[in-house]
Chain A
Amino acid sequence: MSLTDLFGSFLLLLAIPFFWGGSLGLLRFPDIYTRLHALTKADNLGLGLVVAGSILISKEWTVGVKLLLIWLAVLTASTISCYLIANAARKRKINPWKIP
């Protein structure tokens, strides 16, 4: 196992906490707006670290470009659907959670 493989695997492992953060945040946070915040952590950093790790492990530039495209696509999709959901929720007059 080469050094890049090792570092790649390390990045893959580092991604796991972000996915757990996303899941637990989705479960534990009190309202839609805060849960959206948790969700995007998995999208941005979790997937970003998996992509970075995979680029290091795969070592082929064509695959690397595709991996970067995947990350960009997910970033775009998650940003925009996050906005759409929050906007729709606001229009439905769902109030943000306040400390009781």
Chain B
Amino acid sequence: MNYYLWPALFILISVVVGLVRILRGPTAADRMMAAQLFGTGGVAILLILAQAMQMPSLVDVALIYALLAAITMVVFVRCQWRSHENTGEMEDESH
């Protein structure tokens, strides 16, 4: 059953490539979007691992990730990235 690990590996690598967007920014929303891609990729990897490792309860882990995926995003939009309050340019990195 281990051959199912190959697609999981390729998705993991693609998600890690998206990591560069978290590092680069430039806006806070770009970083959050990359984190969301991490989340979706994570769900897909968990589903594949459930087949590869013959552990059906991994589907529950993926279910929780899928259900709670929106929460961090909602908190970000409502508590952090608001329009009227421009908290300096903490988003723009000075290298």
Total of A-B residue pairs, C-beta within 8 Å = 140
- Structural contact, B33 and A66, CB atoms closer than 8 A: no
Q: Name the residue in A13, A69, A70, A89 with the highest tally of chain B Cβ atoms < 10 Å from its Cβ.
A: A70
Interface size of B in residues (CB-CB distance below 8 Å): 42
B83 near A92 with CB under 8 A, answer yes
Q: Mark B25-43, 1 if CB is under 8 A from A, else 0.
A: 0010110111011001101
> Within the complex, what minimum Cβ distance (angstroms) separates B68 from chain A?
8
Rounded to whole Å, the gap between the CB of B53 and the closest CB of chain A is: 13
Q: Within the complex, which residue of B20, B40, B73 is in contact with A85, where a contact is CB–CB below 8 Å?
A: B73
| Contact, CB under 8 Å: A32 / B27 | yes
Q: Which residue of A lies closest to B68 (CB)?
A: A77
Interface 0/1 of A22-41, CB less than 8 Å to B: 11101100001001100100
Q: Does A95 contact B (CB under 8 A)?
A: no
Tell me if B4 and A89 are in contact (CB < 8 A): no
Contact B18 A73 (CB under 8 A): no
Q: Is the CB of A50 within 8 A of B48?
A: yes
Query: Complex Cα distance A26/B40, Å?
Result: 14
Which of B15, B41, B47, B77 touches A54 (beta carbons < 8 Å)? Answer: B47
Q: How many angstroms between the C-alpha atoms of A95 and B24 in the bound complex? A: 19
Contacts of A42 in B (CB 8 A): 37, 40-41
Nearest 5 CB-CB pairings of A with B: A91-B83, A77-B70, A81-B73, A23-B18, A73-B66
List residues of A whose CB falls within 8 A of some B CB. Answer: 9, 12-13, 15-16, 19-20, 22-24, 26-27, 32, 35-36, 39, 42-43, 46-47, 50-51, 54, 57-58, 60, 63, 66-67, 69-71, 73-74, 76-78, 80-81, 84-85, 88-89, 91-94
